[in-house]
């Protein structure tokens, strides 16, 4: 485990392209480009939910099936519509997206805000909620595994509609598509990203048009837009409606992506894309499918594809496959972002991260997460073998994350904006009640697959909290080994430690300026040498996405400027990647001992070998887990962009 503070994550954002279109302002064209980009990334998951939602609700093989009747169809479609309006439009678009951390959204941004509060006045409650937020982020990893499996499976299952003899080929074809999807991740999405938006525009236009066709055949289905049908179904047939909620929640899968990708595209672009295209298209599709089922109850086998005219079913299968691949791409990229942000906040070790685009900020590739997801997704495909079976597991991950996000948002709203308690209680009471209804309904599917995302979430939560605890133990133990930096520098410059001063610049990465770097101490005590220029560099991850260039570095001469020893603090946001040589090059050219000789500078890292000790710092199994997790730590020299040929690694060991 290399010496450093936990490093900043890659930058995340959206590079707005300039406009050269005549007759349109650059501002308007950029805004349109951002909306199109959001359509291609943000809405893939929620935009493909119509493929499997109603099919799952009326699935006769469900352990709690919903009988097909006129009243039930109206009630289900109405519940779908109002669930989307309450959870997506109200909770996320109108409320949660207003709680950002320097423009960044998502549950990790809420956790950062809570951590800031826990270090200020609202310590205990904020710390507990931050821990709950970590569990919500852990559930997102389960979502990231289930989404590609259920999305691609549901699209390929359209083959059974157009050609029933291909039923046995659904799982193998799905597996091939998934393998190809993960294999191309290392190339990045920059090349294909330009077509994502237009493909999703075609998708939403097509499903909306098909929905209109179904509504035309049975226009009375429009009555389902009235909340009275949802309320009547829920209250009058609670025994049926409650269990139906476990499948209805599939209509809001991907809501978290709207919030998490806010930093990429901005709240305004996402809001416009949702209100003016995605929401109308999805609602029309659900209404059209409901009308189709009313006309012929046998259509519950695949109402989405049966809604498409015969001549358009093959093209729709291909379009659906493309849309679900885009949806999978979005959630995979989201998993990369969550993992890298968790590392920056100290919940995971440093992971190797590669930028895959020079023009689009936020396009990253995390190899370890990529291969873990691929194996997990393929396992789910071969274990469950159908989108209907996976749906039981999918809802649990979604409802858990939504409920936690709602709780965190209302706490932040009270603490950050001083929202009146009566308004908070009213809004939070209604929305959390709705969320808990969905959670309760999905708990009834526990033995049918809902245990899976809970298991994944608990596993990820245990790993992250164990790493955080182990990291704090190592930090305390290192402080004891290292000794204080002022005392060590005083001994070094005062002649108490005999050394030979050699030409050049040495840069020692350190966790702060309180303690002496282990590598510097070892170099002095064992090699008895010190360089003319000694830079002790601390990399600090600030709880903001990005740090302005003018605030990047702070230089402290430590009172020994004439002896060529300085301390530099380099600050990065958790969405940035540190470049140590590039950062040092930004320093003022005239330092105490002259300009830093960076062309030939040597970089020193301390490598820590962890050993399981006898002290009761953690349970023995957590110690083993912490040490095992440390093996996935990325190479520090590569991560900090250090020149390999001029990097020296000096080792030590610490017991936990």
Mean pLDDT of 548-571: 80
Question: Residue 484: which pLDDT band, with cuts at 50, 70 and 90?
Answer: confident
For residues 546 and 10, what is the distance between their CA atoms, to the nearest angstrom? 10
Closest CA to 206 of 288, 99, 131, 87: 288
Closest CA to 50 of 254, 270, 313, 193: 254
Mean pLDDT of 494-515: 79
**Domain boundaries along the sequence of the chain:** 26-449, 483-655
For residues 249 and 58, what is the distance between their CA atoms, to the nearest angstrom? 14
Angle of CA points 441, 446, 448, to nearest 5°: 110
For residues 437 and 230, what is the distance between their CA atoms, to the nearest angstrom? 14
| CA 353, 359, 361, 362 torsion-angle sign | negative
Closest CA to 546 of 579, 572, 582, 578: 572
Q: Which residue has the higher pLDDT, 595 or 13?
A: 595
CATH H-level superfamily of 26-449? Amino acid/polyamine transporter I (1.20.1740.10)
Question: Residue 193: which pLDDT band, with cuts at 50, 70 and 90?
Answer: low
- Give yes or no for a contact between 336 and 367, defined as CB atoms under 8 angstroms apart: no
Would you call 21 helix, strand, or coil by DSSP?
coil
Which two tokens mark 173?
């074809």
Mean pLDDT of 75-98: 94
Closest CA to 350 of 639, 608, 27: 639
Would you call 617 helix, strand, or coil by DSSP?
coil
For residues 560 and 277, what is the distance between their CA atoms, to the nearest angstrom? 63
pLDDT at 406: 92
Give me the helices (H) in 349-484, please.
367-384, 387-417, 421-443, 451-482
Place of tokens 């439009």: 89
Q: Is the pLDDT confidence value at 405 over 60?
A: yes
Question: Residue 79: which pLDDT band, with cuts at 50, 70 and 90?
Answer: very high
pLDDT at 590: 44
Q: What is the pLDDT of residues 294-317, one digit of tens each?
A: 999 988 888 999 999 999 999 999
**Rounded to 5 degrees, what are φ and ψ at 243?**
-70, -30
Which two tokens mark 135?
């569990």
Would you call 41 helix, strand, or coil by DSSP?
helix
For residues 83 and 245, what is the distance between their CA atoms, to the nearest angstrom? 9
Place of tokens 């809970």: 454
Question: Residue 188: which pLDDT band, with cuts at 50, 70 and 90?
Answer: low
pLDDT at 559: 66
Which two tokens mark 193?
């990203």
115, 260, 404 from 408: Cα distances, Å: 12, 14, 6
| CA 128, 256, 352, 148 torsion-angle sign | positive
pLDDT at 4: 39
**Phi-psi bin for 364: left (phi > 0), alpha (psi -120 to 50), beta?**
beta
For residues 261 and 269, what is the distance between their CA atoms, to the nearest angstrom? 11
């Amino acid at each position: 485990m290399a010496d450093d503070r936990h490093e900043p994550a890659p930058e995340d954002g959206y590079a707005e392209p300039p406009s050269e279109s005549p007759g349109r302002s650059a501002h308007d064209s950029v805004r349109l480009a951002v909306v199109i980009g959001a359509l291609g990334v943000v809405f893939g998951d929620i935009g493909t939910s119509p493929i499997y939602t109603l099919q799952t609700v009326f699935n006769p093989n469900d352990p709690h099936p919903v009988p097909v009747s006129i009243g039930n169809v109206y009630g289900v479609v109405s519940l779908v519509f109002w669930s989307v309006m309450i959870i997506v439009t109200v909770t996320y678009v109108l409320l949660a997206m207003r709680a950002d951390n320097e423009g960044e959204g998502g549950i990790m941004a809420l956790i950062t805000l809570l951590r800031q509060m826990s270090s200020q006045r609202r310590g205990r409650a904020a710390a507990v909620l931050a821990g709950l937020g970590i569990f919500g982020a852990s559930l997102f990893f389960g979502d990231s595994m289930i989404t590609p499996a259920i999305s691609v499976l549901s699209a390929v299952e359209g083959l059974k509609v157009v050609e029933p003899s291909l039923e046995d080929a659904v799982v193998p074809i799905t597996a091939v598509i998934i393998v190809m999807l993960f294999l191309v991740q290392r190339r990045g999405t920059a090349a294909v990203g330009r077509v994502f938006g237009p493909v999703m525009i075609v998708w939403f236009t097509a499903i909306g048009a098909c929905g209109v066709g179904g509504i035309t055949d049975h226009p009375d289905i429009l009555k389902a837009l009235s909340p009275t049908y949802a309320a009547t179904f829920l209250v009058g047939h609670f025994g049926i409606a409650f269990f139906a909620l476990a499948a209805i929640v599939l209509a809001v899968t991907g809501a978290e992506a709207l919030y998490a990708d806010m930093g990429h595209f901005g709240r305004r672009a996402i809001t416009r894309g949702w209100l003016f295209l995605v929401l109308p298209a999805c609602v029309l599709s659900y209404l059209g499918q409901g009308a189709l089922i009313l006309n012929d109850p046998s259509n519950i086998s695949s109402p989405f594809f049966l809604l498409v005219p015969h001549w358009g079913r093959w093209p729709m299968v291909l379009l659906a496959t493309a849309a679900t691949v885009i949806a999978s791409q979005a959630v995979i990229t989201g998993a990369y972002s969550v993992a890298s942000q968790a590392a920056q906040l100290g919940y995971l070790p440093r992971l190797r991260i590669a930028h895959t685009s020079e023009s689009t900020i936020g396009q990253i590739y995390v190899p370890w997460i990529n291969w873990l997801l691929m194996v997990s997704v393929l396992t789910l495909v071969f274990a469950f073998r159908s989108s209907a079976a996976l749906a039981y597991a999918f809802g649990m991950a979604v409802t858990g994350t939504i409920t936690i996000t709602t709780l965190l948002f209302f706490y932040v709203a009270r603490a950050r904006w001083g929202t009146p308690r009566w308004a908070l209680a009213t809004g939070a009471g209604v929305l959390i009640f709705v969320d808990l209804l969905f959670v309760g309904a999905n708990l009834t599917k526990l033995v049918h697959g809902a245990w899976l995302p809970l298991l994944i979430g608990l596993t990820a939560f245990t790993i992250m909290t164990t790493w955080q605890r182990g990291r704090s133990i190592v930090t305390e133990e290192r402080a004891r080994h290292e000794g204080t930096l002022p005392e060590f520098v005083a001994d070094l410059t005062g002649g108490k430690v005999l050394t030979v001063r050699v030409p050049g610049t040495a840069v020692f990465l350190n966790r702060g300026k309180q303690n002496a770097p282990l590598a510097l101490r070892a170099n002095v005590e064992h090699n008895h040498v010190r360089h003319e220029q000694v830079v002790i560099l601390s990399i600090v991850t600030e709880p903001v996405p990005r740090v302005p260039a003018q605030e990047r570095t702070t230089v402290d001469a430590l009172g020994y400027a004439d002896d060529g020893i300085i301390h530099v603090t380099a600050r990065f946001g958790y969405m940035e990647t540190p470049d140590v040589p590039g950062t040092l090059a930004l320093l003022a050219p005239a330092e105490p001992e002259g300009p830093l000789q960076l062309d030939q500078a040597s970089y020193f890292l301390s490598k820590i070998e962890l050993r399981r000790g006898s002290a009761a710092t953690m349970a023995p199994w957590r110690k083993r887990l912490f040490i095992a997790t440390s093996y996935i730590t990325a190479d520090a020299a590569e991560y900090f962009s250090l020149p390999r040929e001029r990097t020296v690694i000096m080792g030590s060991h610490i017991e936990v």
